[in-house]
Structure 1
């Protein structure tokens, strides 16, 4: 850091530049380092009761008084799965108050802990729930349940188990007007798809750099690349905020038809892709009474395609007369000094910082 001048206080311009540099450095540190270890003096989180097919294993991991994780098992999925939860700072102090809920869906090769890479998600006005979505779960009940990964019913896990489990254990507002689903990249697909699949649950959705048009050849190719764990796709598309800059893994190789069935449009073989495509007019029509926000950059190889998908969805929503908001921040210069328009938390963290106050205003209006 430059030493303070001995001739007097820094000029206004220098103070502004210094504040910007410090803020940028602090944000970068937050985005790309792991969550802090639990402290011995942190408060005990609420005790959650098993149910809805979820069984807790081990002890909660406490990051702070309002930030903790549980690990669960379910017959719908093989293995164990983390659910990270952020509580408002006044959650314990206001035992009679109920809160809106935001469900955050992480991207490919990510984990539930990626929620910590976007500080705005830890809101004092809402509960945030970040469930595991798998390295390549694609927020779907897989067509193939006999791969090396075993049971893979991610949509059932999230919508039929996690949501009612959270409502039963935490003081939530359970109407759709006070529940949102948001996500990025693979999770951006999941957020828009879940809002369409269950409009009774979600009154708000946001997709950041989402693979939201399954008719797009490049997006189908990305899904297949994650199934096959192709190295080039891994390096280009890693979305984990806690493992940035490296080549992550999508786990064991599975059949290219495992998630959505055959990707080839021959004699209707790709019918699952078509049925679950968030960009189809029939599915978009289900969002008639849903708040919809889309964010995308354009400069990274992947975001060049998510931008096309986002504009396709926006245009079709306009044609359907359904209000929505698209922020195409291009090279990132209009969004944040940390954003270069790429496929990473340097853009997604400030995008969430822009979105969360808008969402809170919608929650408040619903009151």
Structure 2
């Protein structure tokens, strides 16, 4: 607990410096007819490097992708230049109302081959300039797990994702854009692996976020969810076949052994227990918590009528994890907005069969974003 408090204090200090830096550089001055994204200043260990033409040619003043490098996380092999994409969506009145500041919602991507926030979030209509919020979508890697890895000498190189996001991206955004840089106006949400990341960050840094949402998230990494622990391990070891061109790494490189006993450090699954969202449910006290999950029809075998196929069984695992998280929240006296749409029958999720797919997540966001807009004070 002392370590967590110290980490929170350091993060708050970094963000305070970010706010002061943002005042000093006067981020995003008014432009009568913006035709390009605002200029951003390199800060907090992030260095901007050229972004591929595929994105620069489609960037607008309100929706754009930048590329950064950082010594905290090795460059993504999925990108030609080895950097990390960050997609940013600004509100429609950002340039016409230069005195106004805005709440920020951080969106964290799932684990998938060639993970790239520049493209991952493009199909979700709720992520747009009409919300009154700034959306920030930082690279989470194909299997970064929103953590500082135990093994920093794996084939993947430096993997300090938590430091990258909390210590670099957040203060970089607050310094360069007109954000409301406080807890009350900052939220974090994620899909699948990103759902775990959102919970992990909110629980570890409760002074930074007032809203957290997990969509089909890996919400339980306790021994009750050995299936999800094995899914994490699979994302590390079953490459490059599944996650090409990222290199395969060791099964214990992120959190050590997923089993209760081991002959190598840390000799048990203590690190998994330390990051299990349910174990720290009480840390979300006073925060708005949203949980979305389905079951794809139930059971490990996808219903034959489902056009989305084999990904259905993933959601079935996640339903149990979400229910255990909800039980832990209830036991801790933490209210939550819990939506379990099962196989979707009779709900807005009917057309996605309650599965682990983008159409279900689009419906999740359609329900989530308007509520967060009000909760974060967007106007």
Q: What TM bracket, shorter-length normalisation?
A: 0.7 to 0.9
Name which of structure 1's ranges 337-346 and 150-159 shifts more when overlaid on structure 2: 337-346
Aligned residues: 310
State TM-score, norm by structure 1.
0.81
Deviation at 1:336, TM superposition (A): 3.5
Please, which of 93, 98, 123 is the counterpart of residue 117 of structure 1? 123
The SS at the match of 1:279 is helix
Q: Which position in structure 2 is the counterpart of 1:306?
A: 318
For structure 2, list consecutive stretches of 5 or more residues without a partner in the other structure: 1-32, 76-82, 297-311
8 Å contact kept, 2:278–2:324: yes
Q: Where does 1:1-367 land on structure 2 (aligned, <5 Å)?
A: 43-59=35-51, 61=56, 62-79=58-75, 80-109=83-112, 110-113=115-118, 114-124=120-130, 125-215=132-222, 216-229=225-238, 234=242, 249=244, 251-266=246-261, 269-280=268-279, 283-299=280-296, 300-333=312-345, 334-364=347-377
CA contact (8 A) 2:106 2:187 kept: yes
How has the CA–CA distance of structure 1 residues 296 and 314 changed in structure 2, closer, same or farther, with 3 Å as cutoff? same
1:325 deviation in Å? 1.2
The CA distance in 2 between the partners of 1:90 and 1:146, in whole Å, is 45
| Counterpart contact for 1:135–1:249, Cα < 8 Å | no
Runs of 5+ unmatched residues, structure 1: 1-40, 235-247
1:144, 1:258 within 8 Å by CA — same for their partners in 2?
A: yes
Partner residue, 2:12: none
The separation in 2 between residues aligned to 1:230 and 1:297, in whole angstroms, is 28
The CA deviation at 1:337 is 4.8
Residue 266 of structure 1 and its aligned partner are, at CA, apart by 1.3
Once the two structures are TM-superposed, the CA of residue 64 in structure 1 deviates from its matched residue by 2.5
**8 Å CA contact 1:84, 1:130 repeated in 2:** yes
* CA–CA distance in structure 2, aligned partners of residues 338 and 288 of structure 1: 35
The answer on whether the counterparts of 2:293 and 2:339 sit within 8 Å (CA) in structure 1 is yes
Quick check: 2:188–2:202 contact (8 Å CA) kept in 1? yes
The answer on whether the counterparts of 1:220 and 1:263 sit within 8 Å (CA) in structure 2 is: yes
**Alpha carbons of 1:266 and 1:310: their partners in 2 closer, same or farther (altered >3 Å)?**
same
SS in 1 for 2:169: helix
8 Å CA contact retained: 2:155, 2:249: yes
3-state DSSP class of the match of 1:102?
strand
CA displacement, residues 28-85 of structure 1 (integer Å, 9 cap, x when unaligned)? xxxxxxxxxxxxx981111000000100011573522311011111110111111110
**Is the alpha carbon distance of 1:301 and 1:230 closer, same or farther for their aligned partners in structure 2, counting shifts above 3 Å?**
farther
